[in-house]
Chain A
Amino acid sequence: MVRTTYSLADLPEGSTGTIRDIDALSPTARRLLDMGFVPGTPIKAIKRAPMGDPTTYEIRGYLVGLRRTESALIDVEIKPDVK
């Protein structure tokens, strides 16, 4: 079976997913919600930094870099047709 749900931290470079869930218990997640990381929003992993962390993502038309500690709070879904 093809895996469709990833942690955002594991979303491969260059692929687009849809935010499915976000860890509601984390204060960091609150800020991410305010910045538009709400369920249903498409997000694209653009690039990992040369040393493997952080990673830039494109969401709602802007670019933002997140460390693994932040991106791991978010679950994304990759639909085969989106990819």
Chain B
Amino acid sequence: MSNKITANSRNVYLVGNPNSGKTSLFNAITGERHRVGNWPGVTVQKIEGITETANGRLIVNDLPGTYSLTPATPEEEIVLKTLDEAATGIIINVVDIANFERNLFLTTQLVELGVNPVVSLNCFDSFTRAGGSIDLQKFSAFTGTTPFPTVARRGEGVSSMIEHLSRPESIAVECCNNMLVLPDLWKKAAEDVLACQGLKWASATPVQRYNALRELISLKPLESDIKIQEIRRQLAAQLSQGREKPVKVIDLACELASDRYRRIEKLIAACATIPGKSIPPWQEKLDTVLTHRFLGLPIFALMMAWVFWTTFSIGEIPMGWMESLVEMAGDFVKANMQEGLLQELLADGIISGVGGVLVFIPNILILFFWIAILEDSGYMSRAAFIMDRMMNSIGLHGRAFIPMIMGLGCNVPAVLATRIIDNRFQRLLTMLLIPLVTCAARLPVLVLLCGTFFPENPSTWMFSLFFVNLLVLIFLGHMTSFLFKSVENSPFLLEMPPYRLPTAASVWHMLYEKAMHFVEKAGTVIMAGAIVIWVLSVFPREVPLSFDYEAELAALKSQTVTAETTEQIAALTHKRDIEQMEGRYMARIGKLMHPVMAPLGFSWRETVSLIPGFLAKESVVSTLTVLYLPYDEDLGKGMSKTGMNKLSAFVFMLFTLLYIPCIATLGVVWRESGSTKFTALSLVVYFVIAYLVSFAALKIGEALQASNGTAAEAVTIILAGIFAGWYLLRTLLNTFVGRQCNSCAGCSSCPSKSSDCQG
């Protein structure tokens, strides 16, 4: 990677289990000087921080959290890929000592491969408080590592660790009795594998050694070399000696893992006293209440309601201030600058663009304040635990519930909140689905349009729109998780960390990082998009007009003012405005696109209005109003005069609801996913879905209207309706009552194999 090790700069790599306090330690070491980028080749976030010491600079890399070097997700693969490079620098292995055995597994793997990490024995306070103790000297001697007790959340023990890291000579540890190294049998077998590749254990890199071990325990033995198969057989035979049950080749993985845990147990017995009961009784009591069969859901619902209300209702107050501030800035520019393109660009393009970004900040800050608290306290995992069954029914992780529900307020913070999902595939799937959640900004559009077209019963129609929307959401979730089932095979493991009091420092870090990140990354995209839309809507400046309006207007204005002339002036101005609008690039693009949209029964005016809708959905209505002015003051009447009927209006609303997320959402998705391909693909998916659904709705509606007629059509419609209803009901039933899991193909492969398997 880019950082070369110079005399006074060294690379430090943090590895450790998820929830081991790795990120807290990283923050404690580096403060706020972070550089966020991507790991080469994959779109996993790479976080780098720098700290200065008396002896030079430390460049600290925060590697993704993992339980084991054997990767289960693209994130975890990074750890293995970076291992060789990291071995040339310093590796800090963060070990949650309150959860000693499992955390030492990774340490064992590192030591086996000849890497001697600096071990941060984190959460040391709760360990000693519970009555645990450890002999650090023995630990160091038995593992060949340098241990440091730390409490990363409060920054305790970090300074002496930094001091140690910066001293160049103190890294190597003399070790005579390492209890974690590979047993001879295994080492011999790994050496044999390396020999097949012309390598030697002593000179091989850690990754080469890892690969040799992996060959031994590989899942697909038939694919590997015949020589390696022989080595595996021998190893299994040797391990079988003196046992009742012979070890099968396929069980070697299990043997190795068991052996590692045996070594870990021996090590702990030799140097530490583990508190007898690691989970305090009050935590168990709290768990009983918070995940209670009947109380768990209502408590969670209350918390969500609180988070939602504060985020979007309290958030509205500072949002109002921001909006008026932006407005004031715009007015100021308009008042103090010469009229012209530059003034317009500044006031309508840039300032409103900045405003469009800043307006999200209060929501994001409040939402992430609560997320930081929920996450830090350990409740987030419990919430995921409660909601998992329901979210799993549309292929999502339990943690996806919070982002999805926040989507009802605004999609932008919702997409940011997907950060709480650690699995990348799950995160992308949630990001794909969030824009289909009807956000608060889409409501006024629906209310207005439904009120316009269906004045007698707007709520019924709005409800049916929501219903279709929900169907699409569930269907897309099902489809994607079905299609990508083979790709996505990382296990579902939901660790329940102990309850803790959140610290101000970690909440502050979360808020600071979120806000900065949003402004820096997504903000620029959103602003650029806003300016592009603005340019499209005001250029070309001069539109050839069919009629010299200015002269006529001037003539009218010079006459004496009567009711008649005022009316004429107003009418002429309208006409001129519309002609100008039609001449702008935006309308031209709309007209160009129109042939594609025509099958849905739209006129070109609807197509044109969809383009500003990209900036903000409410612009659809205002654009339509302007475009229909020549026909009627009232939008609904104007539309019906030009051939739009209730059906095409309904189809149009459906399309507006589904077709594309607003530019702010899109910008955030782009930045958060880190993938242009994903963003572009999701746009195509939304558009195609919107098109197909609208088209189907149009056809069904047409059939309904035309017929009173042919039985076949009526039957088709009724069947479609019943099918949709059944689909929804089945999903809901499965969620709340059914014990049938979605993950098995049928009864024969159903893991429970019990009588209640319904296929």
Known contacts A35-B67, A60-B102; A50/B386 CB under 8 A:
yes
B2 on the interface (CB 8 Å rule)? no
**Per-residue interface assignment for chain B, residues 363 to 405, with 1 indicating a CB less than 8 Å from any chain A CB and 0 otherwise:** 0000000000000000001001110111010000010000000
> Chain A 6-27 against B: per-residue CB contact (8 Å), 1 yes, 0 no?
0101100000000000101101
A25 to chain B, nearest CB (A): 7
Instruction: Report the Cα distance A39→B493, complex, angstroms.
Output: 19
Q: Does B219 lie at the interface of the complex (its beta carbon under 8 Å from any beta carbon of A)?
A: yes
Is B26's beta carbon under 8 Å from chain A? no
- In the complex the two chains form, what is the Cα distance from A30 to B72 in whole Å? 9
Inter-chain contact A27/B219, CB cutoff 8 Å? yes
Contacts of A51 in B (CB 8 A): 386, 388-390, 735-736
Give every chain B residue within 8 A of A58 (Cβ-Cβ): 279
Residues from chain B with Cβ under 8 Å of A52 in the complex: 389, 739
Residue on B nearest A68 in the bound complex, by CB: B741
Q: Is A31 an interface residue (CB 8 A)?
A: yes
Tell me, yes or no, whether B258 is within 8 Å of chain A by CB. yes
Which residues 19-63 in A have Cβ within 8 Å of B in the complex?
22, 24-25, 27-28, 30-36, 38-41, 46-54, 56, 58, 60-63
Contact A9 B99 (CB under 8 A): no
- Whether B389 lies near A33 (C-beta < 8 A) is no
The 5 closest A-B pairs by CB, nearest first: A72-B751, A51-B389, A65-B494, A34-B68, A63-B496
**B80 nearest CB across to chain A (Å):** 13
Does B261 belong to the interface (CB within 8 Å)? yes
Binds A, one of B29-37, B194-202, B290-298: B290-298
Task: Say how far A59's CB is from chain B's closest CB, in angstroms.
Answer: 8
| 27 pairs, CB–CB < 8 Å, chain A vs chain B | A30-B219, A31-B491, A32-B493, A33-B254, A35-B102, A38-B257, A38-B261, A39-B254, A49-B386, A50-B292, A50-B297, A50-B389, A51-B386, A54-B385, A54-B388, A56-B385, A60-B101, A60-B102, A61-B101, A61-B274, A63-B495, A65-B494, A68-B741, A69-B743, A70-B492, A72-B751, A73-B751
B744 CB contacts on chain A under 8 angstroms: 69
CB pair B492–A66 under 8 Å, yes or no, is: yes
**CB-CB < 8 A to B297: which residues of A?**
50
Contact of B279 among A32, A35, A63, A69 (CB under 8 A): A63
Given A24-B251, A49-B385, A64-B496; 7 other pairs, CB 8 A cutoff: A24-B253, A49-B386, A50-B386, A61-B279, A62-B495, A65-B381, A68-B751
For the complex, give the distance between the alpha carbons of A40 and B496 in Å: 23
Evaluate whether A62 and B736 lie within 8 angstroms (CB atoms) in the complex, with A25-B250, A38-B258 already known.
no
A68 and B101 alpha carbons, distance in the complex (Å):
25
How big is the A interface, by class?
35 or more
Partner of B491, one of A39, A46, A56, A70: A70
B518 at the interface (CB under 8 A from A): no
Residues of A within 8 A of B494 (CB): 54, 56, 64-66
Residue among B70, B99, B102, B398 having the largest count of chain A Cβ atoms under 10 Å: B102
Which residue of the partner chain B has the closest CB to A8? B751
Residue from A27, A54, A66 whose CB has the most chain B CB atoms within 10 Å: A54
Check A31–B67 contact: CB distance below 8 A. Answer: yes
Q: Establish whether residues A65 and B385, one from each chain, have CB atoms under 8 Å apart when the complex forms.
A: yes
B491: nearest residue on chain A (CB-CB)? A28
Give the shortest distance, in Å, between B25 (CB) and chain A (any CB): 19
Instruction: State whether A31 touches B493 (Cβ < 8 A).
Output: yes
The answer, yes or no, to whether A67 is at the interface (CB within 8 Å) is yes
Contact of B493 among A30, A35, A46 (CB under 8 A): A35
Separation in Å of the A38 CB from the closest CB of chain B? 4
- Interface flag for B105 (CB, 8 Å): yes
How far does the alpha carbon of A38 sit from the alpha carbon of B254 in the complex, in Å? 7
Q: Does B562 lie at the interface of the complex (its beta carbon under 8 Å from any beta carbon of A)?
A: no
CA distance A35 to B105 in the complex (A): 8
By the criterion CB–CB under 8 Å, are B254 and A49 in contact? no
* Chain A residues within CB distance 8 Å of chain B: 7, 9-10, 22, 24-25, 27-28, 30-36, 38-41, 46-54, 56, 58, 60-70, 72-73
Decide if B294 touches A24 in the complex (CB within 8 Å).
no
The reply to whether B287 and A47 form a contact with Cβ atoms under 8 Å apart is yes
Q: Which residues of B contact A (CB under 8 A)?
A: 67-68, 70, 72, 98-102, 105, 219, 250-251, 253-254, 257-258, 261, 274, 278-279, 287-288, 291-294, 296-297, 381, 384-386, 388-390, 392, 398, 489-496, 735-736, 739, 741, 743-744, 751-752, 754
Contact A35 B250 (CB under 8 A): no
Can you name the residue of chain B whose Cβ is closest to the Cβ of A55?
B385
Q: Tell me if A61 and B99 are in contact (CB < 8 A).
A: yes
Chain B residues contacting A33 (CB-CB under 8 Å) are 253-254, 257-258
| Complex CA distance for A33 and B109, rounded to whole angstroms | 13
Query: For A9, A31, A40, A64, which residue has the most chain B Cβ atoms within 10 angstroms?
Result: A31
Set of chain B residues within 8 Å of A69, measured between Cβ atoms: 492, 741, 743-744, 751
Do B388 and A49 touch (CB < 8 A)? yes
CB distance from A45 to the nearest CB of B (A): 13
Asked if B743 contacts A31 (CB within 8 A), the reply is no
Measured CA separation A12–B288 after assembly (Å) = 16
* Set of chain B residues within 8 Å of A24, measured between Cβ atoms: 250-251, 253-254
**In the complex, which residue of chain A has the Cβ closest to the Cβ of B388?**
A54
Q: A24-B253, A31-B72, A49-B385 are in contact. Are A9 and B105 (CB under 8 A)?
A: no
Q: Report how far A49 CA is from B387 CA in the complex, Å.
A: 8
With both chains docked as a complex, state the minimum distance between the C-beta of B149 and any C-beta of chain A, in angstroms: 18
Nearest-neighbor residue (CB-CB) of B393 within chain A: A51
Q: Are A9 and B751 in contact (CB under 8 A)?
A: yes
Least Cβ distance of B394 to chain A in Å?
Answer: 14
Query: How far apart are the CA atoms of A22 and B257 in the complex, in Å?
Result: 12
Cα distance A5–B754 in the bound complex, in angstroms: 15
Bound-complex Cα distance A35 to B238 (A): 26
Distance in angstroms between the alpha carbons of A69 and B386 in the assembled complex: 17
Identify the closest chain A residue to B293 (Cβ): A50
Q: Is the CB of B279 within 8 A of A67?
A: no
Interchain nearest-CB distance for B342 vs A (Å): 59
B287 / chain A contacts, CB cutoff of 8 Å = 46-47, 63
C-alpha gap A40/B105 in the complex (Å): 17
Closest to A52 in B: B739
Residues of A within 8 A of B496 (CB): 56, 62-65
Contact B392 A67, beta carbon cutoff 8 Å: yes
Which residue of the partner chain B has the closest CB to A73? B751
Shortest distance in angstroms between A62's beta carbon and chain B's nearest beta carbon?
5
Contacts of B490 in A (CB 8 A): 31
CA distance A6 to B282 in the complex (A): 30
User: Closest chain B residue to A63 by CB distance?
Assistant: B496
Q: Which residues of A contact B294 (CB under 8 A)?
A: 50
CB distance from A72 to the nearest CB of B (A): 3
Taking the closest CB of chain A, its distance from the CB of B190, in whole angstroms, is 18
Please report the C-alpha to C-alpha distance between residue A33 and residue B70 in the assembled complex, in whole angstroms: 11
A67 touches B492 (CB 8 A): yes
Measured between beta carbons, the chain A residues less than 8 angstroms from B489 are 27-28
C-alpha gap A50/B105 in the complex (Å): 32
- A14 CB, nearest partner CB in chain B, Å: 11
Determine if A62 and B492 form an interchain contact, defined as CB atoms under 8 angstroms apart. no
Per the bound structure, the CA–CA distance linking A14 and B279 in Å amounts to 15
Say yes or no: A25-B741 contact (C-beta < 8 A), given A38-B254, A50-B293, A65-B494.
no
User: How distant is A36 from chain B, measured CB to nearest CB, in Å?
Assistant: 5
Q: Which of A7, A25, A34, A70 contacts B105 (CB 8 A)?
A: A34
Docked Cα-Cα span, A35 to B219, in Å, equals: 18
Q: Give every chain B residue within 8 A of A64 (Cβ-Cβ).
A: 493-496
Nearest A residue to B72 via CB reads A31
Cα separation A68 to B491 with both chains bound (whole Å): 11
Among A7, A50, A54, A61, the one with the most B-chain Cβ atoms within 10 Å of its Cβ is A50
Q: In the complex, A72 Cα to B261 Cα: how many Å? A: 22
